[in-house]
Amino acid sequence: MLTVTPAAIEDIKILIPRSFADARGIFTETYNRQRFREHGIDQDFVQDNQSLSRDTGTVRGLHFQSHPAAQDKLVRVLRGSILDVAVDLRRSSPTYGKWISETLSAENGKQLLVPVGFAHGFCTLEPNTYVLYKVTNFYSAEHDLGLAWDDPDLAIDWPVSTTSAVLSDKDRRQPFFKKLPVHFE
């Protein structure tokens, strides 16, 4: 059993796989191609990525890959929790420049399907948070791009201040939305 609902931006999907609990613990089928197809989700995932963020307030993103290496992402949390964010970069979309956020945790089991054409990032809400995401294209350094996580024009409601966020040097140097060339029509 799999529950799929659209997010505030309909092309982004919130997935909740069914879990089965007994005296031993919990079993969850997190991905099943047949079940996903039954819900109109037919991505061909080719790579899994996993991150550990040690500190609460760690921000990773906002990242995306441009064509021809653009990626759909299926994001879930193995341990801890995150505020997951996706920003619409599709110029012809009615939600261009808009963003959604969803709290994903090991406890709630939610997954977020972020399609091609969105920048994606997250902020950890707990220490020692593990995030796993499947992608539909291999990593390409040449096509690896980003967007400033704290862009005032986007006004994303992050649960961390700009002074206390833990960031990579790369994420500190990402361009603002207005300066970003069009990568997705």
The reported pLDDT for the residue numbered 133 is 97
The reported pLDDT for the residue numbered 95 is 98
Half-sphere exposure (CA, 13 Å, Cβ side) for 51? 19
Helices (H), the chain: 33-38, 169-172
**Strands, E, within the chain: which ranges?**
2-6, 13-17, 19-22, 25-28, 47-53, 59-65, 73-79, 81-88, 99-105, 111-114, 118-124, 129-135, 144-146
Catalytic residues: 63, 133
The reported pLDDT for the residue numbered 3 is 96
CATH number of the domain at 45-179, please? 2.60.120.10
* Residue 163 exposed, middle or buried by CB count within 10 Å (0-12, 13-18, 19+): exposed
The reported pLDDT for the residue numbered 106 is 97
What CA–CA distance (Å, rounded) separates 106 from 131? 9
What CA–CA distance (Å, rounded) separates 99 from 116? 14
The reported pLDDT for the residue numbered 1 is 84
- Ordered by start, the domain boundaries in the chain are 45-179
The reported pLDDT for the residue numbered 36 is 95
The reported pLDDT for the residue numbered 140 is 98
SS3 60: strand
- pLDDT per residue, tens digit, the chain (185 aa), is 899 999 999 999 999 999 999 999 999 999 999 999 999 999 999 999 999 999 999 999 999 999 999 999 999 999 999 999 999 999 999 999 999 999 999 999 999 999 999 999 999 999 999 999 999 999 999 999 999 999 999 999 999 999 999 999 999 999 999 999 999 99
Q: Specify the pTM.
A: 0.96
The reported pLDDT for the residue numbered 107 is 95
The reported pLDDT for the residue numbered 9 is 97
What CA–CA distance (Å, rounded) separates 111 from 77? 8
Task: Let me know: does 4 contact 13? Beta carbons within 8 Å.
Answer: yes
- Of 46, 49, 69, whose CA–CA distance to 143 is shortest? 69
